[in-house]
Structure 1
Amino acid sequence: MGSQAPSLSMREFLRQSGGVAVVDGGLATELERHGADLNDPLWSAKCLLTSSHLIRQVHLDYLEAGADVIITASYQATIQGFEAKGYSTEDSESLLKKSVAIAREARDVYYGKCCEGSCNGSEGRILNRRPIIVAASVGSYGAYLADGSEYSGDYGEAMTLGALKEFHRRRVQVLTEAGPDLLAFETIPNKLEAQAFAELLVEEDIKLPSWFCFNSKDGINVVSGDSFLECASIAESCKKVVAVGINCTPPRYIHGLITTITKVATKPIVIYPNSGESYDADRKEWVQNTGVSDEDFVSYVNKWCEAGASLVGGCCRTTPNTIRAIYNTLPNRSTSPPK
């Protein structure tokens, strides 16, 4: 799909991944576990300024756990957000590109380790290395606001379709230029932003494949209250989108939402739920007593795949251990576990 990975269609990528590809897990919460202080409007993107080595390490941790897709640290990285911190437009764009460069470098390092020794059963045979996708994250407008509104989808009546397209336009252009394999539009909270992304991809004639992932807090609608079915239909109808799905949603809602997607979508379904914990936007922390264990999380995985999911990973509060457990529970992957 990109210059450093085999140029594959999504369906060929899935075929080479054994039918189900593994997406990585939570980035920000894993960065915090490594000691990063993310108490900042930039959240995980703060590490692009202060500790890019931690981002690279987390990417590597997920690759070694079995992830076939690693998602860049650009979810909350926006030109507007960096400019608010005093950075020039040029520097802000460079930081966006840096997020992709770090992920690509992590992939190269991982492949280098495969050359040196055994890597997912390859015995160092670099020609047989598994394809790995670098997905450039495009977070919602709510993520930029840093007020938790990506969990409500409430942008106010003043926010229009045109304004959303202009907010995201240059960011999408820059991330595309940085050379990822895919654009991952994540945590889309409402129908308006889904439409903005779909129109923007067409207007800019973006050549990279994309996926759209929505979030839900009731298993029926996206978090704004808009119909999940209608949102999935927008993704399905956009020719630039190669997969549609769900992220940052409690595991208990995923099966029903996959069923909803299959009513309108023929494209591969990608799901990467959070741990089931609730996010308190006022206190800016996760409420732990609502979550599930890795064992419980992974117990859902094959049921999700049977329902139609073909890319599976984790979002907030999931870890490399979660991703390793997902890899090992998939019948098509568990015969050659990651090191």
Structure 2
Amino acid sequence: MKTLLQQGPVVSDGAMATELEKRGVDTDSALWSATAMIDHLNAIAVVHQSYFAAGAQIATTNTYQANVPAFVAAGIPAESARKLTQQAVRVAIKARDDYASQHADFSGLVAGSIGPYGAYLADGSEYTGAYQQSVAEYQAFHRERLQLVTGVGVDVLALETMPNFAEVQALVQLVTTEFPEQAYWVSFSLKDPATLCDGTSLAVAAKWVAQQPNVVAVGVNCTTLETIEPALKVLASAVTLPLIVYPNSGDKYDPKTKTWQATNLSHTFESFVPAWLAAGAKIIGGCCRTTPADIATVSQLVSVKR
């Protein structure tokens, strides 16, 4: 990551579930995009490849919602769940390596996606942070997936869509004590440009993260396009770490119906990215409902700054 950042702003990938749905994968379940790991591994690989072709330099593993308890609840035996989680990492690595073998000037990373406890609840809690666990409970929940993902080998961990500061602290402490050589970034879920979903100050949370070992970036994701620039200004005033942003398309999510509604801000990355770069963004990608076309737009705009 540090090597890529030395070359200028870095482009990350976009939505996985959105692209899987286009390929006939039903993600309407508590497992969400992780459902594809059961019998659509090739579709996952194709999505990764499509983002690399669009200009992405980071592939995010399809493990955001993949945890053993969720698989078990869906009727998948625990040992099979462990194998599926690791297979998702291997698919991303192979997609990166296959693309690199055909493009001599390409240098790409694989980020191991670690979603919050709220994602496991499958009720939209990653957008509210309205849950409480003890430090030990948070760490017990995250430990096995971290072991599985890092056991295969990722370049960086993406601790993403994090709405709850207490969980972030417990998770980062787990990573730094039990996986002390592992690089990671932390990306928050926001209530407004200055506040995490649980009410914590974004500046306070970012400052705490910046003081921890092996963190390579801090930022926000799966928030609206118009929230990114003011959030970047808050982050830039609080930390000197590289800043990462990957908003959703601008569509609105209804956690009750698990559906998205289009807005007039959908897919307008072209009008936003220059301001994000000016505000200090060093890594830019997309989250829910974004597409390879959006990432191609980001890549074109970012290339001007390199």
TM-score tier (shorter):
over 0.9
| Alignment of 1:319 onto 2:291 | yes
**Which one of the candidate residues 185, 198, 202 is aligned to 2:159?**
185
**Which of residues 71, 79, 88 is equivalent to 2:68?**
79
> Are the aligned partners of 2:189 and 2:220 in contact in 1 as well (CA < 8 Å)?
yes
Amino acid of the residue matched to residue 257 of structure 1? A
TM-score with structure 1 length normalisation? 0.87
Q: CA RMSD in A?
A: 1.5
Following TM superposition, by how much is the alpha carbon of 1:262 offset from its aligned partner in structure 2, in angstroms? 1.5
Query: Are residues 1:203 and 2:177 paired?
Result: yes
Contact (CA 8 Å) 1:19, 1:332: kept in 2 or not? no
Contact 1:191 1:231 (8 Å CA) reproduced: yes
2:15 is the counterpart of 1:13 = no
Question: 2 CA distance for matches of 1:58 and 1:321?
Answer: 12
Q: What amino acid sits opposite 2:285 in the alignment? A: G
Question: How far apart are 1:297 and its partner, in Å?
Answer: 1.9
Question: In the alignment, which residue of structure 1 is the partner of 2:214?
Answer: 240
Could you tell me which residue of structure 2 aligns to residue 143 of structure 1?
119
Q: What is the Cα deviation at residue 193 of structure 1?
A: 1.1
Task: Kindly indicate whether residue 133 of structure 2 is the aligned counterpart of residue 165 of structure 1.
Answer: no
Q: Shift of residue 238 of structure 1? A: 1.1
Q: Select the residue among 222, 232, 235 that pairs with 2:196.
A: 222
For 1:123, the equivalent position in structure 2 comes to none
Matched to 2:55, the amino acid is G
**Distance between the aligned counterparts of 2:39 and 2:305, measured in 1?**
36
Give the CA deviation at 1:236. Answer: 0.7
Runs of 5+ in structure 2 lacking a partner?
none
Whole-angstrom CA distance in 2 between matches of 1:29 and 1:331:
25
Q: Which runs of 5+ in 1 are unaligned?
A: 1-9, 115-125, 335-339
Q: Which residue of 2 aligns with 1:99?
A: 88
What is residue 154 of structure 1 aligned with on the other side?
A: 130
- Contact 2:8-2:305 at 8 Å conserved across structures: no
| Structure of higher CA gyration radius | 1
One-letter code aligned to 1:46: T
Instruction: Tell whether 2:13 aligns with 1:24.
Output: yes
TM-score (norm 2): 0.96
Change in Cα spacing, 1:223 to 1:279, as seen in structure 2 (3 Å) is same
- 1:122 corresponds to: none
Query: In structure 2, which of residues 293, 300, 306 is the aligned counterpart of residue 328 of structure 1?
Result: 300
Taking the aligned partners of 2:150 and 2:236, their CA distance within structure 1 comes to: 29
Q: Is the 8 A contact 2:251 2:266 kept in 1?
A: no
Q: Identify which range, 296-305 or 136-145, moves more after superposition.
A: 296-305
Which residue, 222, 234, 250 being the options, matches 1:260?
Answer: 234
2:265 matched residue in structure 1: 292
Deviations 1:111-154 (A, max 9, x none): 2332xxxxxxxxxxx3xx22100001000001111111111100
**Which whole-Å CA distance do the structure 2 matches of 1:306 and 1:87 have between them?**
47
Measure the CA separation in 2 of the matches of 1:80 and 1:37: 20
Q: Where does residue 273 of structure 2 map in the other structure? A: 301
The answer to whether the 8 A contact 1:327-1:333 is kept is: no
Q: Distance in 2 between matches of 1:111 and 1:297?
A: 26
Aligned equivalents of 2:252 and 2:18: distance in 1?
14
Shift of 1:99: 1.0
Offset at 1:333?
Answer: 7.1
2-side partners of 1:304 and 1:215: how far apart? 17
Tell whether the 8 Å contact from 1:198 to 1:234 is kept in structure 2 after alignment: no
